[in-house]
Chains A and B, each alone.
Chain A
Amino acid sequence: MEWDWNFVWEIMPTLIQGVKITILATLLGSVLAAIVGLAIALARRSPNRGLSRTVGFLAEFIRGTPLLVQLYFIFYVLPDIGILLPPLVAGVIGLGLHYGTYTAEVYRAGIENVPRGQWEAAKACNLNARQTWTHIIMPQAIPPMIPALANYFIAMFKETPLLSAITVLELMNQAKSVANTYYRYVEPMTLVGAFFLVISLFSVVLLRWLERRYGRIET
């Protein structure tokens, strides 16, 4: 099979469409994962043992099972109980929940890295719990977490082709459909790989910059 550049240019617009959906899913999934992760991290710190245990077990369960099966679960089982989701929404929820359990660990480490003295000082200044979190703990905990969070968002980006299994028309699905139409697999599949490699390499550069900018903890 020869590599055909004409074919490459012909299918490029379709693939670009797919890239847009892939990036959209990654961005929405990242936002959701950041929120879910924070919620899980806070719930696990809760003094209510029942809540913290339950959330801890659920997070462990989600982290121990494949994302693909979770996507099927969200896409095929939820309609049975009356929740009908469009594919992209189901995919974003799946990505967000799955990676939320990973980002929860990042938040946990970040929060635990805030020195005890800061908590004591907040108490000494008579701040209540909410003020302590929003004004003292979070502003110190979040910047060092940013590189680790970005790392998971890049990992999530590489998982987005799974969304093609629940009929989201992202990059992989577009490539599969053009491959099946023309029965030429070499160009579409290689191009998908190239797209992912290029975007990943760029995001690694961005990650290095984030690490330099936020990675070190100021003393």
Chain B
Amino acid sequence: MTRARRLGVRLAVAAAVACAGSGCAVIPVGGPSIVNDAGGGDPLSKPFQRMIATPPQPTWDAEQVVRGLQAAMAAYDDDPATLPLYLTPEARAAWKPTGTVTVIDDAFQVTYADDREADAGEERKVSIKARQIATIGDDDAYVPSPGPAPEKDFTLVKTDKGYRVDKLPDGLLLTSSDVARAYRGTNLYYLNGVSQDRLVVDRVWLRVRPTESFARTIVERLLKEPSAGLRGAVTTGFPPGTKVDSVRVGEEDRVVISLSGPLYLTKPDALMAQLKLSLNKNGMAIGRTIEVQVNGEPFASADRDLDQGWTDNGGNTPFYTDREGALHVLTDDGSGVTVPGAAGQPNPGFRYFALAKQTSGLVAAMTSTGISITTLTQEGRWQQVIQGDPDKLTPPTWHRDGSLWTYDRKNGVVLRYDPQSGRGPERVAAPKLQGLDVTQLRIARDGVRVAVMTGRNTVQVGALTGGAAGYMLANFHLLTTVEVGGEILDIAWGDGEHVLVLVKSKAGQSLREINVGDGETVQLPLKDKLTYLAALGERILAAADTDKGTQILELNQDHQSWTARLEATRPLFPLS
């Protein structure tokens, strides 16, 4: 009896201590425990702000009505109901919102055709004067078009509820702020034409839709055609008729993309690479597994890391040529290693060295009689493959399929030499280059984009279309130009998206990094006088005439300053 009671007391005390020690604490101290890292924010969209269109007020004058109409145009895609409130019934019936979107400067001016105030029922003519900045086409391509825009004329009628717009030009008129607010420059990735083993970037400007995730907007756009600049030059892994059912975050923080359509016809690899890169490069679904479901069944999934082959640049070792025309490898510690074979020997008179894909080990150079190639082996000997006047041929450029390209200015044709075919150089159609003074031809590392310098003051960008049936250079559009008196010294492909242009003008030299998709230009700082450029992705090398002689400089990671590497005449990277 006593023993039992003592036991009971002990148990009660133990329970009280346990309760006071842990269970009764508001937040018990403890750990460590494994926690799930994922879930930081929404991986499928980014925050954005929108213009809210407000209806016209009876007290507004004509200028305010036109400004309100412009604001309603900015909000038209989200809220198509407010804009018609600004219009008379006739204008409502006649006006079409579709077509090219005109982007104008923020500080646009509204001018009146006359000074008098209109009475009720009378018309008032008003026009918008502004600097046009760009247009956004139906293909979502953002095309810079600097210069004054044609005046947009509006006719307003005074009604009992205030001014209403009676006549207005078709299409939407947005300011650059409107575009910055509602559009996102987006990189889409398609497959290169023939081999379909590398992704090609297409820059489009997509409108953010408030009712759906931006990831879905990207995927839906990816299923459509590329923009005009790449039309006919790239293909896609998605068979025609593919539709997006949903894009959502599934279990284990996977991003699940539900598609429907005849996807069983296609190989999942290319498709997944397109999806993965198109989402990740635009800040969507970063660090997450992407899973594609077709008609509710799992189809394929892409892990965090993408196979490097899809963005292969054909090698990333920098090379340079010295004063004697010998080719060296630029090592990381800043010294040079001579390449084996003929290319490593002094080659006086050889200029414009170009390296093919590193795995093929071929190098080309311009000689006094044409273009010769050799291999980077001990047995490598120069062999002339294209004959011609070196002044009439553009510096050689290698395609990632192993062919050598140049433009014969004498005959006005593009020449393509394939070392594996055993035949001589063949001609490639380039109707848009007819009659132009092509001074440089550069094929990008993706094998699709082509940059062409015409004369000494213009750079155009086109694409290699046609595929296996026969190449054609087409889809050219102006990338940059320099004013009279200036000249372009050199061009180089950075990555598939950017072209570096070295410009010399009266004010001095400048180095522009231009996005071929939307013409976005970044001026890179210069210290010394540069002569030649070579770039691979973020890495930019240049030959400069310094007070210590001709040196190779490298742009630092911060893109602000240059570091001298060694004395040499010209840097180069494989391809391009």
* A complexed with B: no
> Hey, which bits of chain B sit against chain A, CB under 8 A?
none
> Hey, which bits of chain A sit against chain B, CB under 8 A?
none
